[in-house]
A = this chain, B = another copy of it.
């Protein structure tokens, strides 16, 4: 019998307890052991809860109980979660987490600590919620060099954009509806400004390319500036606007970005709607593969956490092959201005065509009335410099959105 302690009895933590209970028979069949929850750590009281008798408030009970071999961390953030994770590993316990912030910031250190003790630190649930992505990336596709990873990694922003596209809602109304439905938090900054997606693309790039990228190194642009006019212009190009996290290997460097992109309706990513996530991986042998599913939510995320627990149980005692990555050398993350893109630009000017032709000769105008045009495929820095030039010609630039190239 394997005993597990859950840290944090919130949405995901309670889902983990439920899945372990409810699906004990397939879990036992897969892991060849019975798995039970011994403790649930939370500062709150849960009178009348089905697990009331397992709830404790003192982490040191878990730390010092040799019966607990697996700790599930679903606290989130990098405060106590970091402290408890470290202490759990130092006490000889395997740790499973859904905490993307912690993995993105401190993955190198925590993985090293675990590896030195032949323990696992697993985090399938940290990216794409319940979608299997980390194991497929590191195991099933292990014979590939990865050219690129592009994904819709945040369900909240995808829900908002879907409402803007399908129901012609404004950003503000769509956000309000997302908050009402519990898909967006009261303070939606981490989602709508792209921070959540940024942590996830960092973890994927860390795994795919083997070196650490901190979220602070990534150019990150959210969706707050996207308007209905942008969505309509994109539609004229048979595109939808999606918040994309993207990492591209270029020689010894990685180009990495989070920003709204125009995605062609021919791409399977364009059909990833509502709170769903979709992650497209381009490997040299496999070509394009996409993983699609619910990127968040109580049971989907719990499903991924419990799969990690089962994996640990199956390999108890065997040598661990943690998927780890190293510190990166100086200059590993390339300047976002080096990334090449065509942009869809919306601008107002008294004489759009004439003035445009000087700066972007022969560029494609989508809509005269909305002043929308497509720039040539150039380094981002060059496009921005040219847009600057247009501004000096009394153009008013409303928005400039990257176009995701079809593979």
Instruction: Write the residues of chain A forming the contact surface with B, with a CB cutoff of 8 angstroms.
Output: 15, 19-20, 22-23, 26-27, 29-32, 124, 130-132, 135-136, 138-145, 210, 268, 270-272, 278, 283-294, 297, 299-300, 302-304, 306-307, 309-311, 314-315, 318-319, 321
Residue of B nearest to A25 (CB): B145
Whether A142 lies near B32 (C-beta < 8 A) is no
Inter-chain contacts of A131 with B (CB < 8 A)? 286, 289
The 7 closest A-B pairs by CB, nearest first: A132-B140, A289-B293, A143-B306, A285-B303, A132-B136, A290-B292, A130-B286
Closest to A283 in B: B303
Q: Are A292 and B307 in contact (CB under 8 A)?
A: no
Seed contacts A132-B141, A285-B300; 18 additional CB < 8 Å A-B pairs: A23-B143, A23-B145, A23-B284, A29-B210, A130-B286, A140-B307, A268-B271, A268-B272, A285-B302, A285-B303, A286-B293, A286-B294, A286-B303, A290-B291, A290-B293, A291-B291, A292-B292, A314-B321
User: Can you name 30 A-B pairs with beta carbons within 8 Å?
Assistant: A19-B285, A22-B284, A23-B143, A26-B142, A26-B143, A29-B210, A30-B142, A32-B321, A130-B286, A130-B287, A130-B289, A131-B286, A131-B289, A135-B135, A135-B136, A139-B311, A140-B304, A140-B307, A142-B311, A143-B302, A143-B303, A143-B310, A268-B268, A271-B271, A284-B299, A286-B294, A286-B303, A287-B293, A291-B292, A314-B321
Closest B residue to A289 using CB positions: B293
- When C-beta atoms are compared, the residue in chain B nearest to A146 turns out to be B26
B283 near A288: Cβ-Cβ < 8 Å: no
The verdict on A288 contacting B294 (CB below 8 Å), with A136-B136, A140-B135, A143-B310 known, is yes
- The reply to whether B289 and A143 form a contact with Cβ atoms under 8 Å apart is no
